[in-house]
Amino acid sequence: MKFTDWLQQLISRIRPKEPVSIPPGMTHYLRETETGITRFHLRVERDGSGLLVTNATALARLSPSGVIIAKALLEGRSEVEVLSTLKATFRGAAPETMANDIASINQLLQQLTAPGDAYPVFNLDDAALATDAAELIAPLQAALPLASPDTLRPLLERLWEVGIPHVIFFAPKTPNATDLVRAVERAEDLGMIAGVRARASDLLQEGLLNDLMVAGLDHVTFPYAALDADLHDALFGAGDHQAADTVLAWLEENQLCANIEIPLVETTLPGLETMIHSLLDRGADNFSFVTYVTKDPALAGKHHGALDADAMPQIAAIVEEGAHEVQARFLWEPPVERDPGQTLAEQLQQGPRCAGDVAIRVESDGRVIPPRGPYQSAGNLLQDSWDVIWNHEAFRRYRERVEALTRCEICPGLVICAADCPRERTGWAQKP
């Protein structure tokens, strides 16, 4: 059985008849393993489910029963004691089932301790696994535009304080290499998983990738539009295609996770399947699909133009079928509304608002932006309480959409539909 399969079974197999009496919040543990002392951070949600972060490099979601097991094991309790606790909490479950769950969490702890070059989020492939997002005490991830250390430091500390364990720094063209390295170092010092999103050509500043790896970087996201170098470079700058191939080879050689951001527009669709096969052959197995969508027929019809909203279900079905056939790990980013005020190249280089549906965008001045819908601040991270921000109307509307069934007869079973209908503008990351 696949690792994600048994873990998903564990999430849904048994539910407590009464709420688990572990208060929400983040707890830090140290555990001696074969490789030395390992840092664990366990974040418990309001519904008793949780997140487990290991050495600031890997993260997994846990069911309420998984939280109880992980907490007990991290506290040094024996499996006999853990089984006794489960029997008292979860009535009706077979002892053999509980014993198997304890063994599964033990296996999870071992795998999280040595994740290798795997993507740091182990069992959260898409929004379909986050249908209980309203119960989260905070998102799983934050996207921050790169800024000076003095600007980023208080933002990172505040994010960690409210329980957000994963941060991605969005680097501009020709980023300040020192600022980028120091940002990753600070996130690592706090215990956060740290990633960088940048054009490949901007990552090839002399020594930058190595410095980021030494600083504790966990994954690198960079755009890859097409195998055709001319097409890719027209969107991301001269020489960026060759740079992307170089960065991918370097990450593979150094066993650092590569996440390929694939922009989906009219001209990149025809060669998508061939490109994914080529990238898989070179070691890439994590892909983020970003669709650039419009309801304006004039925009959709332009050369290199955005995708027509009504065509999204068919396009998504083709993409998902191809990804499943090659067993690639893929994530749909919230669709991005095409902005006619920018060239397509400018918008694609800017990238998505943030990464995924259980994420936020935090601007340098502290404004917190939800992953979908209007570009609307839900509050200021440095000035407002987290409860005020998290319960803002913008997040309330978003959580209602995530909880509701958005699949319909037109596209049943599509992953892209799990959080919102891709044809509807309300579910897009709208332009500022």
Higher pLDDT, 254 or 304: 254
Higher pLDDT, 40 or 128: 40
The pLDDT of residue 123 is 58
How much is the mean pLDDT over the chain?
A: 86
Per-residue HEC secondary structure of the chain comes to: CCHHHHHHHHHHHCCCCCCCCCCCEEEEEEEEECCEEEEEEEEECCCCCEEEEECCCEEEEECHHHHHHHHHHHCCCCHHHHHHHHHHHCCCCCHHHHHHHHHHHHHHHHHHHCCCCCCCECCCCCHHHHCCHHHCCCCCEEEEECCCHHHHHHHHHHHHHHCCCEEEEECCCCCCHHHHHHHHHHHHHHCCEEEEECCHHHHCCCCHHHHHHHHCCCEEEEECCCCCHHHHHHHHCCCHHHHHHHHHHHHHHCCCEEEEEEEECCCCCCCHHHHHHHHHHCCCCEEEEEEEEECCHHHHCCCCCCEEHHHHHHHHHHHHHHHHHCCCEEEECCCEECCCCCCHHHHHHHCCCCCCCCEEEECCCCEEECCCECCCCCCECCCCCHHHHHCCHHHHHHHHHHHCCCCCCCCCCCHHHCCCCCCCHHHCECCC
64-73, 221-230, 244-253: lowest mean pLDDT where? 64-73
* pLDDT tens string 119-156: 777 654 433 334 444 477 888 899 999 999 999 999 99
Q: Cβ–Cβ contacts within 10 Å for residue 177, how many?
A: 17
Chain-centroid distance of CA 1 in Å reads 24
The pLDDT of residue 13 is 44
The pLDDT of residue 325 is 80
Query: Is the pLDDT at 250 greater than 90, yes or no?
Result: yes
Cβ contacts of residue 378 below 8 Å, gap of 6+?
368, 369, 370, 389, 390, 392, 393, 394, 395
Give the residue-averaged pLDDT of 393-397.
78
Give the residue-averaged pLDDT of 16-23.
58
Query: Is the pLDDT at 410 greater than 80, yes or no?
Result: no
Query: Is the pLDDT at 327 greater than 70, yes or no?
Result: yes
Most confident of 25-29, 51-55, 221-225: 221-225
The pLDDT of residue 3 is 45
Split at pLDDT 50, 70, 90, the class of 361 is very high
Split at pLDDT 50, 70, 90, the class of 20 is very low
The pLDDT of residue 87 is 84
Report the percentage of the chain scoring pLDDT > 70. Answer: 86
The pLDDT of residue 35 is 67
The pLDDT of residue 12 is 44
Higher pLDDT, 201 or 396: 201
The pLDDT of residue 45 is 87
Give the residue-averaged pLDDT of 180-193.
95
The pLDDT of residue 400 is 63
The pLDDT of residue 331 is 85
Split at pLDDT 50, 70, 90, the class of 279 is very high
Query: Is the pLDDT at 14 greater than 50, yes or no?
Result: no
Higher pLDDT, 323 or 276: 276
The pLDDT of residue 121 is 73
pTM over 0.95: no
Query: Is the pLDDT at 273 greater than 80, yes or no?
Result: yes
* pLDDT tens string 309-322: 988 988 888 888 88
The pLDDT of residue 217 is 95
The pLDDT of residue 15 is 45
The pLDDT of residue 73 is 92
The pLDDT of residue 399 is 63
Split at pLDDT 50, 70, 90, the class of 1 is very low
